[in-house]
Amino acid sequence: MADPRTDTAFPVGLDDIRSAAALLDGVIRKTPVHHSRALTDLTGGPVWLKCENLQRTGSFKIRGAYTRLARLPEEQCRSGVVAASAGNHAQGVALAARLLGIGATVFMPEGAAIPKVHATRGYGAAVELVGETIEQSLAAAREFAERTGAVLIHPFDHPDVIAGQGTVGLEILEQVPDVRTVLIATGGGGLLGGVAAAVKAGRPDVHVVGVQAAGAAAWPASLDRGAPTPLDSMRTIADGIAVGMPGEITYRQVAALVDEFVTVGEDALSRALLHCLERAKLLVEPAGAAPIAALLGEPRRWETPAVAVLSGGNVDPLVLLHVIQHGMASAARYLSLRVRVGDRPGALAELLRQVARLGANVIDIEHSRISGTVPMGDVDVALSLETRGPDHCRELVEALRDAGHRVTAVGGPDR
């Protein structure tokens, strides 16, 4: 493992990050760390949440964006800057440009979340909606830069950006000096590479873990092959870390300093977001919840005290609703049943009283007696229930069957 205090094999070291911290003083918030009692109980040791979801613009991106823009020569500032982003980087660049008096244009995919588009415009940037993917938006941003002379601000692959993001690591060491493990959601690698450099310069024994969405995990394959390697496809709800290939600069940084990578699935991301809402009272986007997903999935894997970096909290309300529902379903907090009862007055009311006594909450109900598959004299009742978890789901099914009902679980742990 390289030593960021002495090794020059990677682009950004401790001095670069300290310089960025001085530049950012008074610009960014020193975000708090919250102790997680629930995760501490689960892991057997202290777990702290570094709340970059409470940073200005709702994510860590302002750190790198401001550092990059503040160091532009004056003649380049006059030409303005341009960026491509689906959300967090866009807002970071827009605010940094406004604070520094630099004109900014941001290209976003046509399907970008409306709140993120409005927020980016609210920070003063001109927004152009181009293409269906971030790659198409980036191509448009590059063409704009060539045509106008505007400086393209890459979301991660630049030393100034990495140094700015690395200031998160300086704060972690100050706030949790006995930290043993740091878990960081990872897309392009700017935050991960910067934090790794800052943390290992002061504490080389700290274990740094990059966490990726399984549907957009470019780092493991790239590290195996020894060079940035593109993914053939990506699919994940964690759009903030959906990056198809590491950058050339971030690859050198991360390969030299990061100890381990893990991946988490979509169900795990949904459950992690729900955990943050219910147990930590924090709104975190799916990408920002990835370290929590890793801890929930393997709570005894890493040494504590551990710090999980919640990298952002910008999530579209409609996406949030979907993810919460998905998280509850994956945690067996929903149960869908089809129950056959006798077609007689009061049978449905009796069934619902039984469900209530068993402690379940009815979300939806469908009562059908007209079907080719239902015998004369019977009725099918489709129930969607809110439950307390897998054990409660099994108890419900068993109790209803013991009461003489014919029960089929069509959604939940007893499918």
Residue 414 pLDDT more than 80?
Answer: no
Q: How far apart are the C-alpha atoms of 50 and 194, rounded to whole Å?
A: 15
**The residue type at 216:** A
- pLDDT tens digits, residue range 79-138? 999 999 988 999 999 999 999 999 999 999 888 888 889 999 999 999 999 988 777 888
Q: How far apart are the C-alpha atoms of 2 and 7, rounded to whole Å?
A: 6
If asked whether residues 237 and 339 sit together in one domain, one would say no
Residue 1: inside a domain? no
What is the pLDDT, as a whole number, of residue 412? 57
Residues 6+ apart with CB under 8 A from 270: 237, 286, 323, 324, 326, 327, 330
Residue 367 backbone phi and psi in degrees, to 5:
-115, 120
What is the pLDDT, as a whole number, of residue 310? 98
Calculate the CA 304 to chain-centre distance: 22
- pLDDT tens digits, residue range 7-61? 557 899 999 999 999 999 999 999 999 999 999 999 999 999 999 999 999 999 9
Q: How far apart are the C-alpha atoms of 2 and 113, rounded to whole Å?
A: 40
Stronger pLDDT, 390 or 35, i.e. the higher one: 35
Of 378, 377, 348, 341, the C-alpha closest to 365 is 348
If asked whether residues 142 and 189 sit together in one domain, one would say no
Q: How far apart are the C-alpha atoms of 93 and 137, rounded to whole Å?
A: 15
Three-state SS for the chain is: CCCCCCCCCCCCCHHHHHHHHHHHCCCCCCCCEEECHHHHHHHCCCEEEEEHHHCHHHECHHHHHHHHHHCCCHHHHHHCEEEECCCHHHHHHHHHHHHHCCCEEEEECCCCCHHHHHHHHHCCCEEEECCCCHHHHHHHHHHHHHHHCCEECCCCCCHHHHHHHHHHHHHHHHHCCCCCEEEEECCCCHHHHHHHHHHHHHCCCCEEEEEEEHHHCHHHHHHHHCCCCCCCCCCCCCHHHCCCCCCHHHHHHHHHHCCEEEEECHHHHHHHHHHHHHHHCCCCCCCCCHHHHHHHHCCCCCCCCEEEEECECCCCHHHHHHHHHHHHHHCCCEEEEEEEEECCCCHHHHHHHHHHHCCCEEEEEEEECCCCCCCCCEEEEEEEEECCCHHHHHHHHHHHHHCCCEEEEEECCCC
If asked whether residues 201 and 297 sit together in one domain, one would say yes
End residue of a domain, out of 328, 345, 367: 328
What is the pLDDT, as a whole number, of residue 411? 59
Residue 2: inside a domain? no
What is the pLDDT, as a whole number, of residue 369? 66
Q: Which two tokens stand for residue 341?
A: 């009862």
**What average pLDDT does this structure show over 56-79?**
96
> The pTM is what?
0.84
Whichever domain contains 133, its CATH number is 3.40.50.1100
- Which class for 114: exposed (0-12), middle (13-18), buried (19 or more C-beta within 10 A)? exposed
Q: Which two tokens stand for residue 56?
A: 């200005």
Phi-psi region of 384 (alpha: psi -120 to 50; beta: other; left: phi over 0): beta
If asked whether residues 202 and 263 sit together in one domain, one would say yes
User: What's the chain's average pLDDT?
Assistant: 91
Of 408, 56, 116, 55, the C-alpha closest to 240 is 116
If asked whether residues 87 and 143 sit together in one domain, one would say yes
End residue of a domain, out of 106, 136, 152: 152
Whichever domain contains 386, its CATH number is 3.30.70.260
Task: Give residue 345's domain range.
Answer: 332-411
What is the pLDDT, as a whole number, of residue 144? 96
Residue 216: inside a domain? yes
- How many domains is the chain built from? 3
Residue 345 pLDDT more than 60?
Answer: yes
